[in-house]
Structure 1
């Protein structure tokens, strides 16, 4: 349908892409997600070339948040598939709404229409009873951003299924035929590297390694995401977290934990970090009992004094 003024409507593709990596970087940072040049280029190519971006790195380094930021920057819905051991096509692709199918069958039989078996089967296995799981929803929704989170937790059989989808952008439903997406979604795959993902899947993707940001960028992330936190608290919390990362912990804290700690301290009215509050709120930054006990055994006063002064941990 044409516009009332006779002008052609803006191409949705133009609204969902960016003219350059720098333009996309500006859009991402407008959502509060700070990126460096390498990640901005990778995201731009993922959007422009319709290639998935494979994000690998330690937990808490911003991999999952990137997908949400891309969805905001591209004004597209975020569709998330959380992977886990044993995930299969019924959870990832599609399933049939068996309760509604059964209800329809009973109604048909009560109305005398149950004798036409072929017609009844066509009705039962029609799109109205198809439940679209994340991968099929992403195929049917354009524009969209598809997040396949923690692919390393799934098994190799699921990797093969995902590789086929990313290669062809089609899903075959035996009762309905082959469903094909008009345009592929922007795809972000994440891995915490608990196991190696097969090279065939990685080759299909653009690759980006996520490391902990440097000190200045991490402070900027805290200040950007939590603007009400004082600059002093942001700086001291970031230094303290980086000092904890240098320890031999079971689970070193990521950027997500830096944000959680700063937010918790701000909620308690803190404008700076002290040993008493740090000890009371360790559960926001450390997630293992052994790590908390090890940290409590440290001289927190000295560690935080170094954090406040900028000294080495």
Structure 2
């Protein structure tokens, strides 16, 4: 059953335009650009999954989290990984509890257990372990985040495509589970491999860039209220310069925030060379990258 509050959230007038979506996301602390706000608005209005690709740290996962917060909906997250299969993502049966149930029935029957009735009693919602995809169907309206779909294999991607086409699944022992209304689906990809065209056709697509200098300064100051404008600009400028280098792991917004937070913890009011060198581990995660940044005179 759909909660009236959830329905009102999905129909909120404040979200009925790209500008409204931008304002709602801004209210959660996520600062979108026009492209992100428009893509999120269209995904919600057209009830289509939104596939977000981009470098790590560009705010793909944070977008789904912010949408859930802005819409006051539950966020259900499926973290993809190599070897993930339908059972891990969809459902499983609680075998230990089923076995205990059988033993209880057998003891209560005094040895006259009806095998057919016992078997039918095993496959009920009581013993069904709902994984993220099934939960999204059962608990919709919600925001379903399928994170790093590029880490999954072709077989799982095909399964996901089928589920997103119908927003329903058939469980042989249980029956069909169908969402009362489609969840708002956000898929993310770091593009470690290409997502298949069939899935891309099912989705709306948006490529997330790293924020420009002005927007990154605004993000830093929004997320870290104690950060003054000068230090925010110094951090953002240094991070922007690092991203233009050939690094193994260019820093994302999360690393910029970590760096700024480290500087605040040290009571630093100015990002000079000495302080930057001592805190570089907050923003760069490979020795080779740190060496390149030093050689380029960034720190």
Is 2:11 aligned against 1:14? no
Name which of 205, 208, 221 aligns with 2:206: 208
1:76 aligns with 73
**Secondary structure, counterpart of 1:85 in structure 2:** coil
SS class of match (1:111) = helix
1:39 Cα shift?
A: 1.4
| 1:272 maps to 2:270 | yes
Q: Which consecutive unaligned segments of at least 5 residues does structure 1 have?
A: 1-8, 305-313
2:44 maps to which of 47, 50, 53: 47
Match of 1:105 in 2: 102
Equivalent-residue separation in structure 2 for 1:215 and 1:294 (angstroms): 21
Deviation digits for residues 156-206 of structure 1 (CA, Å, limit 9, x no counterpart) = 100100000110111111001111111011000000011100000001011
Match of 1:144 in 2: 142
Any conservation in 1 of the 2:150–2:192 contact (CA below 8 Å)? yes
Q: Tell me what 2:228 maps to.
A: 230
Match of 2:25 among 19, 23, 28: 28
Change (3 A) 1:10 1:77: closer
**Pairwise CA distance, 1:11:** 7.1
Count, aligned residues = 293
CA distance in 1, matches of 2:235, 2:187: 30
* Pick aligned residue for 1:243 from 209, 219, 241: 241
The secondary structure found in structure 2 opposite 1:252 is coil
Distance 1:290 1:220 in 2: 30
Task: Identify the residue that residue 95 of structure 1 maps to in structure 2.
Answer: 92
In structure 2, the gaps of 5 or more residues are none
Partner Cα distance (2:99, 2:4) in 1: 45
Secondary structure in 1 matching 2:109: coil
**Deviations 1:62-81 (CA, angstroms, capped at 9, x unpaired):** 00000000000000011000
Residue 116 of structure 1 is matched in structure 2 by 114
Does structure 1 residue 60 correspond to structure 2 residue 57? yes
User: TM-score, normalization: structure 2?
Assistant: 0.94
Give the aligned CA root-mean-square deviation in angstroms: 1.6
Contact kept, 8 Å, 2:9 with 2:73, in 1: the verdict is no
- Residue 127 (structure 1) aligned to one of 125, 128, 149: 125
Question: Which residue of structure 2 aligns with residue 307 of structure 1?
Answer: none
Q: Separation in 1 of the partners of 2:161 and 2:171?
A: 17
Aligned residue for 2:256? 258
Alignment partners' CA distance in 2, 1:14 and 1:74: 9
Residue 195 of structure 2 is matched in structure 1 by: 197
CA distance in 2, matches of 1:169, 1:200: 16
Determine helix, strand or coil for the equivalent of 1:290. helix
2: distance between equivalents of 1:248 and 1:62?
A: 21
Q: Distance in 2 between matches of 1:23 and 1:80?
A: 25
C-alpha separation in 2, matches of 1:103 and 1:142: 32
